[in-house]
Amino acid sequence: MSALARAIGRQLREPSGFGGWLTGCAMRLANRRPTRLAIAALGIRPGDVVVDLGCGTGDAVPALLAAARGGETHGVDHSEAMVRTAAHRHPDAIFHHSIFARLPFADATIDRVLAANVAYFWTEASPILTELARVMRPDGRLAIYVTDGATLARVGLRADATRRSFRAGDLEQLLGPRALVQPVRAGPGVRGFVATIEGRWLHARWD
């Protein structure tokens, strides 16, 4: 892996400084279509309590606020700088600086969770999925988007100790047989996957 690819990988995991700002700009462009696809798969209802897991600077938040009108929209991110920026941009949402394995929500209070382009960094996925099972209502829904590992490998972003790669079948293995996984065209020459799973099936697998 090249030094540039390693630097990009570090910034994708936890953006900081000028490199983080540049990475954020690139992510904003690259994530538009995948995020729209994942939001559509969530089936958000008016009044829902929605969480954007790995919200970055909040680019998905306007669409979530509009879909969940009358409810609540929360953003969670590992990066304190991203949370500050998101809170400044979107004062109608609620933002949290938190790790994903210890979310700041009570049991069974969340209706919909968006996780777009963050599962690569779930090198220990079990604690995160257990925590999502805890906070989600039984009739809730999680939607995950990931870009196919072969697409990322073409630009030098391969799996390593801090980042996993997804190929066909990996999301089913991660989430279990009740997950619905659909291949999607996420951009010119970019293949990805959108996976959805209901809260009750998360509870059955991870509680």
CA angle 117, 181, 110 (to 5 degrees): 65
Superfamily of the domain at 30-206: Vaccinia Virus protein VP39 (3.40.50.150)
- What residue ranges do the domains of the chain occupy? 30-206
* Contact between 143 and 39 (Cβ < 8 Å): yes
Q: How confident is the model at residue 33 (pLDDT cuts 50, 70, 90)?
A: confident
How buried is residue 124: exposed, middle or buried, by Cβ count under 10 Å (0-12/13-18/19+)? exposed
What mean pLDDT is reported for the chain? 86
The answer on pLDDT for 126 being more than 90 is: yes
Condensed to tens digits (0 to 9), the pLDDT of residues 35-63 reads: 999 999 999 999 999 999 999 999 999 99
* Contact between 194 and 149 (Cβ < 8 Å): no
**Tokens encoding 65:** 């606020």
Identify which of 153, 154, 176 has the alpha carbon closest to the alpha carbon of residue 163: 153
* Contact between 136 and 112 (Cβ < 8 Å): no
> Any idea which of 22-31, 46-55, 110-119 has the lowest mean pLDDT?
22-31
Residue 16, pLDDT score: 52
Q: How confident is the model at residue 149 (pLDDT cuts 50, 70, 90)?
A: confident
Which residues, other chains included, contact 5 with Cβ-Cβ below 8 Å and sequence gap of 6+?
A: 155, 156, 157, 158
The answer on pLDDT for 137 being more than 70 is: yes
Q: How many percent of the chain have pLDDT more than 90?
A: 67
Which residues are bridge partners to 32 per DSSP? none
